[in-house]
Structure 1
Amino acid sequence: MATDYDSPRKNEEEINEDSLQELQSRRGEKGTSTVDVDPEEANEGMELPGADLSGEELAVRVLPRQADEFTCSRCFLVHHRSQLAEQRKGQLVCKECAA
């Protein structure tokens, strides 16, 4: 979008008036944005905290830490050796935590 720098600019008072008019017009439009949802369908896929998940199975395959990986002593995430920033007193620290 091209800008015409030679056109007359609005002063601060005109800008405030325009903003007020826009806000008032938007206020009238807000009331029509309601969504009608059936409460039973909305709660169907939700699980409450503390729900019994003992019957659920873990569908993710977990691998042990590999020889070229380390666990950061600050964030406790497993990183590749290329992410190693420093080693202090046997504590390995990743680049993100060292920054």
Structure 2
Amino acid sequence: MATDYDAPRVREGEEDKPDNLVELGASRARATTDLLEEDTEAVDGHTLPGADLSNLSLEVHVVPRQADEFSCISCFLLVHRSQESKPGTSICRDCA
């Protein structure tokens, strides 16, 4: 039997894959729609064991910026003045 060496090679399980971009786009759109439909289930009623946080108070004491700190103009973090890349630049060493 003669072998056609110019024919595309097909491995097992690849027979049902689309051959062109239009078919590929359509199959991906169907897969995305299927995934979105699966995620529409209600999540109510799912609780983690031991995670009753209803009586927990979430209060944070905010300390204002100190005289030896500055706010980096690149990353907006509040860092100590010793972390300034060059004096007067207001850029931390990590961003410089």
Q: Give TM-score scaled by structure 1 length.
A: 0.37
More strand by share: 1
Structure number with the higher helix fraction is: 1
Could you state the TM-score of these two structures normalised by the residue count of structure 2? Answer: 0.38
